[in-house]
Structure 1
Amino acid sequence: MTAFGKLIRTTAFRLTLVYLFLFALFAASLLGYFAWNTRRLITEQITSTVNAEVGEVTEIYNRRGLRGLALTIGNRALRPGANLYLVTAPNGQAIAGNVGSLAPGVMGMEGWTETAYRRLDDNDNTDHRALVRVTEMTNGFRLLIGRDLEERRRLFGIVAKAAQWSILVVVVLGIGGGIFVARRVLQRIDAMTGTAQRIMAGDLSDRLPVGRSGDELDRLAENLNAMLERIEALMTGLKEVSDNIAHDLKTPLTRLRNRAEEALARARSEADYRAALERTIEESDGLIRTFNALLMIARAESGQARGNMDDFDAADVAAGIHELYEPLAEDDGMSLHVKTAPSAMHGNRELISQALANLVENAIKYGKPVVQPIDPEAAAAAKEILIEARREADSVLLSVTDHGPGIPEADRKHAVERFVRLEASRTLPGSGLGLSLVAAVATLHGG
């Protein structure tokens, strides 16, 4: 398709043509109304002037008779730019006036008539148009007084020509403006299309151009760029997950295979085989937990878990986690406490419970103070873990607090990435997915 063909097929150009048609129609209607009113005004002025003059001439005829009428008509007919005058006898013979010829039958009709005529002094033999009034006098005499319509025709022609030029100018400027607007819009759309094609080709880092006007195209580009950033983050996360799965699950799978080979090579009794199978099952359970965690993170990040959201009390969830993990905390030398207030919320209860459980497990693992206080009361307080659930304005706060060393600020961003384990946690069991799940659940619920 040619560039001009693309241009005229744009929505902006078509809308411009529609608005141009409507505006031209409105302008033509307005000018037509003005011309009609101008014509009506001139006609009213002619009829008013003629009616007044008919009244004067009739009064003169009544006072001075036919001789006075003929003398008055003769004098008025000689004035420059005079009206049309004609007095006829009962037999139709002209007695006085400046009208040389009329359309047939005009003098036989009383009242107003628009007719063709010629003056007595016309040398061009061209018919003119006039608006005349015929009045029957006493004794069968008839009086015609009228006004030439050339002024009205000329003024109407001026208005008509002005209307033609105005509509022509409107059409030319409208089409030119439409092409200009359509070209600008087309350039921006083409730029977006080119960016979209590069993105489809695999360059997820490219973004749609955003102008400074803040119009609807800029808002669309901003929203699409936000969507592309989200897609890029998801694709990057997917690539990282794939790499991490291949790297971090290779070790337990290799260990699982080696133990099976070792059992086949060295086991001599049923007890040896049982021990090897128990270690294999334990290793398999760890792998299953890892995959389950990955699936939960994927559900949370993709938004699939929104279908299972319901209203519940976050305080009940916190109390349940406290009851479940209190014995485990005591076995590890920690004390687990809970502090709740009614906290109604809408969300996925299963994922909220799992996220809170992950935080409690991390607190039990890493929440011991680096330096134990000497004072017994301070030492006991340093081993406390507090689960809180309360409402803050329109939000619900779920927190797990401990007295451990915490995560260095520089590492906090990486701590929520999949399979990331900080140096302090390398000596303890784990897959590096706990905080990733917590972050995904928080994002899902607008946290």
Structure 2
Amino acid sequence: MTALTKLFRTTTFRLSLTYLALFSAAAVVAIVYLYWNTTVLLTRQLNQTIDAELTGLAEQYRAGGLDQLVRIVAERSRTPGNSLYLVADGDGKQLAGNLSAVSPQLWDSLGPVEFFYTRPAPGGVERRLAFANVFRLPGKHRLIVGRDIEDRRELARLIRTTMLWGLGVMALVGIGGGYWVSRRLLTRIDNLSATTRTIMEGDLSGRLPISGSGDELDRLAQNLNLMLGRIEQLMAGLREVSDNIAHDLKTPLNRLRNRVEEALREPYEEATYREALERTIEEADDLIKTFNALLSIARLEAGAAGDNRDKLDLAVLVSDVAELYEPVAEERGIALEAEVEAPIVIRGDRQLLGQAIANLIDNALKYGAPSAQGGNGYAPEVGVQAQMDGDTVEITVSDRGPGVPAAERERVLGRFVRLEESRSEPGSGLGLSLVAAVARLHGGVLRLEDNDPGLRVVLVLPLEGDALVNGAVTEPSTGAEPRPT
């Protein structure tokens, strides 16, 4: 397909031709309507003028006969203007008037008629169009009263010429404008297509060009770029998960296998076998938890979870989860304090939000323990807060542990990412990743901040307008007990 053929087949060029045809048709209809109304008006005025003159001449004829009619016509013929008169006898001899000669067709006509006549002009004579009424008088005399309408014919010729030239210029400008717009649009489309081909070949870092005009193509390109960024992020996450599964899950699987082999090599003892089986079951349960967490994150990332959204009081949910972890905090020697505003009603998935809050508190209890303080001089404590901030709600979980370096805060939100100082605690490195996925599913974000010392994790969720019904908060029901990951 040639470039010109491709250009002519673009929607923009076809739309330009369509609009050009419609506008041209409308212009032709308007011009024809204007010309027709003008012609009707001029014809009506012409007939009225001729009828008025005929009425006057008839009165003169009745009052003084042919002689007075000839005298009056002779006087009026000497007056400059477009009026035409002729009084002739039965042989066609002119008795009075400014029409020197008439054709046989005009002589034999009766009533209104259009005809051509000649009159002197600079450089010779000219042929002009006229309209007249022909009357037959007694004695085969003829009376012709008319008007020169050559100007009206010139007007019609001018309108036709103007319409043809106007349509020609309109077509030229329309086709040229359509060609220019289509070529400009086609260039942008070709650039978009070239980028998409690059992306389809595997380069997910490519982005669609944006001209900066803010038109619909720019808005489309921006949305597609956001989608491509999300796809690139998901693909990178998929590769990271694959690598992490290959490395991080290989170790517990090997440990499980080695434990079974070791048990088989030992002499048969029921106690030994039972212990080996119990530890194998524990390892298998940890692996199942890890795979369940991966599955949950994958479902959240794909948007396949969170369908059970309902109005719920987040303050009650945060308080319930914090109360659930109070025995764990007491056992670890950590003060757990919850401070929430009530009520905070949002629309969300109770099970997922409960699990996300549980993960945050569980992480804080693990890494805010006395053994993880590093001698910072602060008593081990974990604070849980929930408060509204404009059209959002912030759930904050803070601890006094070693915290997370600023350079690592983005990385720890990934799957299987664990800092070196956290390796001593059990876990798979999927907790914060799951919380971040829950936040994105609800249209929120997860922020990691410095608690000076320690870490402050802020889960920001949007408040929806329909969380309030007629200005009153609906009473949410209690939810299921969350499970930390």
How many angstroms does 1:128 deviate by?
6.3
Asked whether the 8 Å contact 1:417–1:436 carries over to 2, the reply is yes
Aligned to 1:403: 400
1:32-431 to 2 correspondence within 5 Å? 32-58=32-58, 60-62=60-62, 64-74=64-74, 77=77, 83-87=83-87, 96=95, 97=97, 98=99, 99-103=101-105, 108-109=110-111, 113-116=112-115, 118=117, 129-134=129-134, 143-340=143-340, 341-368=342-369, 369-371=373-375, 373=377, 382-431=379-428
Bigger Cα displacement from structure 2, 91-100 vs 258-267: 91-100
Unpaired segments of 5 or more residues in structure 1? 374-378
Asked whether the 8 Å contact 1:35–1:160 carries over to 2, the reply is no
Inter-partner Cα distance in structure 2 for 1:34 and 1:108: 31
Inter-partner Cα distance in structure 2 for 1:141 and 1:19: 61
How many angstroms does 1:396 deviate by?
2.6
Residue 145 of structure 1 aligns with an amino acid whose one-letter code is V
Inter-partner Cα distance in structure 2 for 1:80 and 1:329: 119
Between Structure 1 and Structure 2, the one with more helix by share is 1
Residue 423 of structure 1 aligns with an amino acid whose one-letter code is E
Compared with structure 1, are the counterparts of its residues 62 and 338 closer, same or farther at alpha carbon in structure 2 (3 Å cutoff)? same
Inter-partner Cα distance in structure 2 for 1:128 and 1:102: 17
Inter-partner Cα distance in structure 1 for 2:85 and 2:73: 7
Q: TM-score, normalised by structure 1?
A: 0.88
Q: TM-score, normalised by structure 2?
A: 0.81
Compared with structure 1, are the counterparts of its residues 125 and 330 closer, same or farther at alpha carbon in structure 2 (3 Å cutoff)? closer
Inter-partner Cα distance in structure 2 for 1:56 and 1:395: 93
Compared with structure 1, are the counterparts of its residues 78 and 100 closer, same or farther at alpha carbon in structure 2 (3 Å cutoff)? farther
Inter-partner Cα distance in structure 2 for 1:185 and 1:119: 60
Compared with structure 1, are the counterparts of its residues 313 and 108 closer, same or farther at alpha carbon in structure 2 (3 Å cutoff)? closer
How many angstroms does 1:138 deviate by?
8.0
Residue 206 of structure 2 aligns to a residue in which SS?
A: coil
Asked whether the 8 Å contact 2:413–2:433 carries over to 1, the reply is yes
Residue 393 of structure 2 aligns to a residue in which SS?
A: strand
Residue 430 of structure 1 aligns to a residue in which SS?
A: coil
Compared with structure 1, are the counterparts of its residues 237 and 82 closer, same or farther at alpha carbon in structure 2 (3 Å cutoff)? closer
Bigger Cα displacement from structure 2, 96-105 vs 331-340: 96-105
How many angstroms does 1:75 deviate by?
5.8
Instruction: Report the RMSD for the aligned CA atoms in angstroms.
Output: 2.9
How many angstroms does 1:41 deviate by?
4.6
Residue 409 of structure 2 aligns to a residue in which SS?
A: helix
Asked whether the 8 Å contact 1:118–1:125 carries over to 2, the reply is no
Residue 214 of structure 2 aligns to a residue in which SS?
A: coil
**Pairing partner for 2:432 from 414, 428, 435:** 435
Residue 103 of structure 1 aligns to a residue in which SS?
A: helix
Residue 275 of structure 1 aligns to a residue in which SS?
A: helix
Residue 212 of structure 2 aligns to a residue in which SS?
A: coil
Between Structure 1 and Structure 2, the one with more strand by share is 2
How many angstroms does 1:77 deviate by?
4.8
Residue 371 of structure 1 aligns with an amino acid whose one-letter code is G
How many angstroms does 1:245 deviate by?
1.0
Inter-partner Cα distance in structure 2 for 1:82 and 1:297: 96
How many angstroms does 1:253 deviate by?
0.8
1:296-340 CA deviation, whole Å, 9 max, x = no partner?
211222211131222222223223322322212111111323233
Inter-partner Cα distance in structure 2 for 1:372 and 1:176: 76
Residue 418 of structure 1 aligns to a residue in which SS?
A: coil
How many angstroms does 1:125 deviate by?
12
Asked whether the 8 Å contact 2:290–2:428 carries over to 1, the reply is yes
Inter-partner Cα distance in structure 2 for 1:145 and 1:191: 75
Inter-partner Cα distance in structure 2 for 1:144 and 1:308: 97
Asked whether the 8 Å contact 1:103–1:115 carries over to 2, the reply is no
Residue 252 of structure 1 aligns to a residue in which SS?
A: helix
Residue 344 of structure 1 aligns with an amino acid whose one-letter code is V
Unpaired segments of 5 or more residues in structure 2? 445-485
Bigger Cα displacement from structure 2, 142-151 vs 7-16: 142-151
Asked whether the 8 Å contact 1:310–1:347 carries over to 2, the reply is yes
Q: How many residues align?
A: 435
Aligned to 2:18: 18
Q: Percent of counterpart pairs with the same letter?
A: 49
Inter-partner Cα distance in structure 2 for 1:120 and 1:254: 120
How many angstroms does 1:359 deviate by?
1.2
1:387-422 CA deviation, whole Å, 9 max, x = no partner?
233433332322222222322222211121111111
Bigger Cα displacement from structure 2, 246-255 vs 55-64: 55-64
1:346-399 CA deviation, whole Å, 9 max, x = no partner?
1111111111111111111111443375xxxxx7xx233232334333323222
How many angstroms does 1:268 deviate by?
2.7
Residue 196 of structure 1 aligns with an amino acid whose one-letter code is T
Aligned to 1:376: none
Residue 370 of structure 1 aligns with an amino acid whose one-letter code is G
Inter-partner Cα distance in structure 2 for 1:115 and 1:384: 112
Residue 352 of structure 2 aligns to a residue in which SS?
A: helix
1:113-154 CA deviation, whole Å, 9 max, x = no partner?
1233556999x9999643112457689865320123322212
Inter-partner Cα distance in structure 2 for 1:345 and 1:41: 74
Residue 364 of structure 1 aligns with an amino acid whose one-letter code is L
How many angstroms does 1:213 deviate by?
1.3
Inter-partner Cα distance in structure 2 for 1:233 and 1:251: 27
Inter-partner Cα distance in structure 1 for 2:375 and 2:46: 114
Residue 185 of structure 1 aligns with an amino acid whose one-letter code is L
